[in-house]
Amino acid sequence: MDNPKRKFTPAGILGAVAGFAFSRYAGSNVLVPIVGAVLIGWTIKKIKREQYPMGSAVAVQGGHCLWMIVAAVFGVAGPSFLVETAIFAAAIAWLYFQPRLPAVILLGTYQAIALVVNLSAIKAVPLDSTDAKALSVHIALRVIGIGAMAWALRASAKAAAAVEPAVRP
């Protein structure tokens, strides 16, 4: 039987090419977030046997947070970064256990504010610098995280609408 989910699509091919090109620019900065996201996504898939639309959002942001934890462990950041990372981790845990609008609003707000901060910071450094490469990864992961949460909310709403019985007058 032909499985449409396994077909190559122009968008999928473009995404793979863009991802490869971005990884060439950002270098090893993408390693921990990507490996972390894949492992978290795989774990979620094994734990949650039923549909879990928020899985991609949790995995991407979990990989991002893991990267921040690695930086914190190796002393790359100060105390405010440790607090930010702890809050980010708690918000991701809340999203995992309660994949609903309040958690999305909190995490989305955090990501939007952090995105503005990262966009402002990247303007102040040369594009070929280590800082710019790290900031570009933060920016990409924040945009992907926000997009994944929006997609998951939409998918959840569609699934809920399909399950609800039709109301007849």
Which contacts of 30-36 are long-range, i.e. CB under 8 A and separated by 24 or more positions? 30/137, 32/63, 32/66, 32/67, 32/70, 33/60, 33/63, 33/64, 33/66, 33/67, 33/137, 33/141, 34/63, 35/63, 36/62, 36/63, 36/64, 36/65, 36/66, 36/67
Q: What is the pLDDT of residue 168?
A: 52
Percentage of the chain exceeding pLDDT 70: 93
Low-confidence residues of the chain, pLDDT below 70?
1-6, 164-169
Predicted pLDDT at 2: 46
Query: Residue 100 carries which DSSP code?
Result: S
Q: What is the pLDDT of residue 38?
A: 93
Q: What is the pLDDT of residue 78?
A: 82
**Both tokens assigned to 127:** 């594009």
Interatomic CA distance for residues 108 and 152, integer angstroms: 13
How do residues 40-50 score in pLDDT, each as one tens digit? 999 999 999 88
Residue 83 CB burial class (10 angstroms; 0-12, 13-18, ≥19): exposed
Instruction: Output the six-digit token pair for 145.
Output: 């995280």
- Supply the pLDDT for residue 34: 92
In the prediction, which pLDDT does 26 show?
Answer: 85
Instruction: Quote the pTM value.
Output: 0.85
User: Domains of the chain: which residue ranges?
Assistant: 26-155
